[in-house]
């Protein structure tokens, strides 16, 4: 199950989210709310309609990837990672790790990074606008060579990338 989870985390690796905190801090604040922390272009609306959603669940974490676009072409990928809070993984530890990731990636064009907190989880939302990503980020996402002549990505091709990683897409 871990291999499936790590396979889908390819997009999270782009945003620098490959580290998961394991050391708890003694003072978790279960009812605290974190103001969304975003990169400069965070308030941009989703590009197009929701075409498909893919999900992977592992241990206490859930990853939902939403593919947005129009006419069967994916223009934007939003990845929501829900880090479940447990006795050995509290909110402060996870937030500290995600803050470091956000800071390291704050100047990447086409990437929006938001962190939110609920009573049961820390939620990281990363949105990738495919037309603004550079070639290295496209390659890291496993989408290299999938764009058509117009630089667009067919839903079936992008779906295959996620399903090959073990995600369930609907």
Token output for 152? 């667009």
Which of 93, 149, 144 shows the shortest CA–CA distance to 122? 93
Instruction: Encode the chain (170 residues) as per-residue pLDDT tens digits.
Output: 333 333 334 334 333 333 344 333 333 333 333 333 333 344 444 567 999 999 999 888 999 999 999 999 999 999 999 999 988 887 888 999 998 988 988 889 999 999 999 989 999 999 999 999 999 889 988 899 999 988 899 999 999 999 998 899 99
pTM: 0.71
The domain ranges of the chain are: 2-16+47-169
The CATH code that applies to domain 2-16+47-169 is: 3.30.1830.10
Q: How far apart are CA 155 and CA 95, in angstroms?
A: 33
């Amino acid at each position: 199950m871990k291999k499936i989870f790590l396979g889908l985390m390819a997009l999270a690796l782009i945003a620098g989210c490959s580290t998961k905190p394991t050391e708890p801090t003694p003072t978790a604040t279960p009812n605290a709310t974190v103001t969304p922390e975003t990169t400069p272009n965070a308030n941009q609306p989703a590009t197009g309609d929701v075409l498909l959603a893919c999900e992977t669940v592992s241990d206490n974490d859930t990853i939902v990837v939403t593919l947005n676009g129009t006419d069967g072409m994916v223009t934007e990928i939003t990845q929501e990672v829900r880090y479940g809070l447990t006795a050995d993984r509290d909110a402060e530890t996870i937030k500290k790790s995600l803050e470091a990731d956000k800071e390291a990636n704050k100047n990447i064009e086409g990437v929006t990074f938001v962190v939110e907190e609920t009573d049961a989880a820390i939620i990281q939302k990363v949105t990738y606008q495919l037309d603004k990503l550079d070639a290295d980020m496209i390659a890291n996402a496993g989408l290299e060579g999938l764009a058509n002549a117009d630089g667009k990505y067919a839903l079936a091709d992008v779906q295959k990338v996620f399903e090959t990683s073990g995600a369930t897409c609907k």
